[in-house]
Amino acid sequence: LVTSGPTHEPIDAVRYIANHSSGKQGHAIAAALAREGATVTLISGPVDEPPPRGVAVVSVRTAREMEAASLAALPSDIAVCAAAVGDFSMANESSQKIKKPDDGSAPTLALKQNPDILATICQHQVRPRLVIGFAAETQNVVDYAMAKRLRKGADWMLANDVGKTDSPVFGSDHNMVHLITEMGNEAWPEASKQEIADHLVDRIAKELNR
Ligand code: PMT
């Protein structure tokens, strides 16, 4: 099971809250797993990436839909959560377009927390043998990702710095990650998202054959 892409959290019938995830990293991992012979379900938010060959794709929009599709894909040996899931959605979504008031005022948007899909998978009664999350950070990348691994209960976290304006991660074909496991932190060299996916799949295969 692999999650990928952004989630769209509707504000009203016309607008939504989303993020810059293109799905490139998550789709590359799904494709690499399939090339190695895994049966892969890719649960993807709205992206322009083509569906990877040999992968069953479930298209979703919201975090709640992604959670439902992820839980429906269990049991699974491996879960890789590469999606940039919105942490919040609208507390009261409007079914109509919200009209702009003439007096110059702006509405206050009330938010509620979305389910944490990665944490839910980690605590599930049919937990995959290996649960891997991504940590998108803009500061203290490794420390925050280490804390996130423990808080969410993941086996591994891949930490990436999404705050660098000179080499953005969202939407680009390259990434630079740290692999964080219970053994510590490994910095991987900058590489294409495809190469990172291939390297991750090698590590997954070694771990499962141990
Ligand atoms: O899609 P690309 O353009 O290729 O960009 C790749 C990427 C930057 C999106 C990817 O490498 C990445 O970092 N994905 C995780 C983004 C993210 O939501 O990070 P986070 O630190 O906010 O979340 C930590 C983990 O919890 C992630 O595995 C995420 O999927 C998961 N999560 C987060 C919130 C939530 N409500 N449910 C979750 O499961």
What's the confidence (pLDDT) of residue 166?
83
CA-nearest residue, atom 33 of ligand 1? 85
Question: To 10 degrees, what angle do helices 24-35 and 193-209 make?
Answer: 50
What's the confidence (pLDDT) of residue 170?
96
What's the confidence (pLDDT) of residue 210?
82
What's the confidence (pLDDT) of residue 67?
98
pTM over 0.95: yes
Residue of 4, 9, 17, 21 to test ligand 1 pocket, by largest number of atoms within 8 Å of CB: 21
Strand partners, 10: 16
What's the confidence (pLDDT) of residue 44?
98
Closest Cα to residue 70, out of 135, 5, 3, 151?
3
What's the confidence (pLDDT) of residue 73?
98
Locate the ligand 1 atom nearest the alpha carbon of residue 120 and give its number.
39
Residue of 78, 89, 134 to test ligand 1 pocket, by largest number of atoms within 8 Å of CB: 134
Series of mean pLDDT values for 10-residue runs along the chain (210 residues):
98 96 98 98 98 98 98 98 97 95 95 98 98 97 98 98 90 97 96 98 95
Closest Cα to residue 74, out of 134, 120, 6, 7?
120
